[in-house]
Structure 1
Amino acid sequence: MNQLFITGIGTEVGKTVCSAVLIQYFKADYWKPVQSGDLDYTDSHKITSWTENTVCHPETYSLKLAASPHQSAKEENIQINLNDFELPKTANRLIVEGAGGLMVPLSDDVFMIDLIEKLDLPVALVVRNYLGCINHSLLSIMALKQRKLKLKYLILNGTFPPDTERVILGFIKEETGIIRIPEIDIPSKESIKASTEQLTKANL
């Protein structure tokens, strides 16, 4: 794994926590292309506080309003342009974290999945258990297949009922790796490191 784009089946499914675990595991750099809101404590700030010696590359867009990027940009009279995004130059491995899910709009007609396609990166899809997660997971997997984007990993974040997990895993190809990250109630260097050690034992 040299470069990987972390996305999710929706918002608040734990993309940043999962990014931190993978960053620690792969000893990778981090890049958040679009930060929408929470500029006093961005996802890059979280990664810095939860991992050890991680290089966080600057965001292409840092927007003040905590909302969908297209709305946040409009509030500041900004038009997000795909041509503005370029992968950071690094000799290290790189984890890229998106905002929300695949169909989060960057503008009225450009979506997060378009950014993934533009950057041409394999994808790790974060799934969390909630009512509706099967539908959101399968739709996300279908969208990636439709765009012919490689689903490198499916990340099961937290615990899942066996029936839910079985249906979701039955919808992916054998080439997709399964990563299980246990529930992390309070992210910290210690809890992230503990999860990383579990991945090491599982021979990711």
Structure 2
Amino acid sequence: MSAQIYFISGIDTGIGKTFATGFLAKTLAEQQQKVITQKLIQTGNVDVSEDLEKHREIMATDWLPEDHEKLTMPEIFTYPASPHLASELDGREIDFAKINAATETLAQRYDVVLLEGAGGLMVPLTRRLLTIDFVKQQGYPVVLVSSGRLGSINHTLLSLEALKARQIPLYALAYNLNDDSQDEIIAKDTRQLLKAYLAEHFPDTLWIDVPVLVV
């Protein structure tokens, strides 16, 4: 039996996808679900994904067998850039068959797979394939990470509209309280507005607070 696979994306680079992914995995594990995280494509690293390291730190677990097998980090590129550019600079194409096979293997071993993307939904994986179109092809429901920082309302609503236009299910909005650029007044209003928008336009979507994590 295959696991439920959720794609973790964000409204922007640096919004806290890695923290959110680790927190969600930790929460599910505490609920006795067998869960693992995976990084779709890691850039700016060599051999090991720093995002996976952060997941395991938050989950308070050692390196897993699947990490050693590189199933959780099937594609790593050295230059810290969008996947399409990082792969070009490294001189090799992204192996999507390898990625999908790794995800399917994880899905056979676990109840839940949390697949963290790179950047936001419109990030190009190749010159012709956007992240959001990859998600659509695979049929993954999305967990969208947002926060109360200035500008996040615009970025969040644009992301929601993009998901709606492609009829991609939004499982949850993860509101990242770790964002230290928050202004208390702006953050409070952002939270209220986004909750109201979800209630009207995405009534089945969960709201998940990602608390400040001390790791």
TM-score range for the pair, normalised by the shorter chain length: 0.7 to 0.9
Which residue pairs with 1:35 in the alignment?
A: 42
Q: How does 1:1-204 map to 2 (within 5 A)?
A: 2-27=4-29, 28-39=35-46, 42-53=50-61, 55=64, 56=67, 57-80=71-94, 82-86=96-100, 87-89=103-105, 90-92=108-110, 93-158=112-177, 161-172=187-198, 173-184=202-213, 186=214, 188=215
Partner Cα distance (2:197, 2:98) in 1: 34
The one-letter code sitting in structure 2 at the alignment partner of 1:46 is: K
TM-score (norm 1): 0.83
Partner Cα distance (1:29, 1:119) in 2: 18
Partner Cα distance (2:148, 2:173) in 1: 13
CA contact (8 A) 1:9 1:127 kept: yes
CA contact (8 A) 2:8 2:142 kept: yes
Partner Cα distance (1:45, 1:68) in 2: 20
* 1:176 Cα offset (Å): 0.2
**Equivalent pairs, count:** 186
The one-letter code sitting in structure 2 at the alignment partner of 1:116 is: V
CA RMSD of the aligned region, Å? Answer: 2.0
Partner Cα distance (1:120, 1:70) in 2: 22
CA contact (8 A) 1:82 1:118 kept: no
CA contact (8 A) 1:6 1:97 kept: yes
CA contact (8 A) 1:10 1:100 kept: yes
Distance 1:111 1:81, change over 3 A: farther
Q: Can you give the 5+ residue segments of structure 2 that lack an aligned partner in the other structure?
A: 30-34
Which residue pairs with 1:199 in the alignment?
A: none
Q: Can you give the 5+ residue segments of structure 1 that lack an aligned partner in the other structure?
A: 189-204
* 1:41 Cα offset (Å): 5.4
TM-score (norm 2): 0.79
> Residue deviations 1:50-80, cap 9 Å, x none?
2134744332321000111111111012233
